[in-house]
Amino acid sequence: MSIRVIDAGRVSGVRSQTIYHGLAKTFTKGSPDTIVLVTPEDPYFSIGFFQDVDHELDVAYCRDNNIPIVRRETGGGAVYLDQNQLFIQWIFHRESLPVKIGERYRHFIQPILDTYRRIGIQAAYHPVNDIHVRDRKIAGLGSAQIGEAQVVTGNFILDFDFHTMLKAMNIQDPMLKQNTMRDMKAYLTTIKQELDFVPPVADLKIMYLQQCRKWLQKRLFLDRFSEHEYKIFEELDVKMTRDKWLFLNQSQLNHKMIKIHAGVWLGMVPIEGESFEFEIKFGKLTYLYSKARSEAIHAFKDMDLSPEGIQNRLQRVYEKEAFLKGESASYWENILMEINALKSKYA
Those residues whose C-beta lies under 8 Å from the C-beta of residue 233, and which sit 6 or more positions away, are: 15, 18, 19, 22, 225
Look up the pTM and report it: 0.85
pLDDT of residue 128: 80
pLDDT, tens digit, 9 for 90 and up, residues 78-94: 889 999 999 999 999 99
- Say if domain 263-346 classifies as CATH 3.30.390: yes
Q: Give the chain's count of helices (H) and strands (E).
A: 12, 18
- The reported pLDDT for the residue numbered 221 is 97
Tell how strand 34-40 and strand 3-11 pair up.
parallel
Would you state the pLDDT for residue 345?
Answer: 80
Report helix, strand or coil for 319. Answer: helix
Strand partners for 222: 5
Closest CA to 255 of 184, 342, 168: 342
Confirm or reject CATH 3.30.930.10 for domain 3-246, answering yes or no. yes
What residues have CB less than 8 Å from 309, skipping those under 6 apart? 303
Asked whether 147 and 25 are in contact (CB, 8 A), the reply is yes
Q: What are phi and psi of 147, to 5 degrees?
A: 60, -130
Domain ranges of the chain: 3-246, 263-346
Distance CA 183, CA 185 (A): 5
Helix/strand/coil (H/E/C) assignment for every residue in 193-237: HHHCCCCCHHHHHHHHHHHHHHHHCCCEEECCCCHHHHHHHHHHH
Q: How confident is the model at residue 25 (pLDDT cuts 50, 70, 90)?
A: very high
Q: Is the pLDDT of residue 141 over 90?
A: no
* Reported confidence tier of residue 253, pLDDT bands at 50, 70, 90: confident
Residue 200 has pLDDT above 90, yes or no: yes
- DSSP type of residue 299: G
Per-residue pLDDT, 322: 53
Nearest CA to 142 out of 130, 150, 153 is that of 153
Q: What is the DSSP letter of 188?
A: B
pLDDT value of position 304: 93
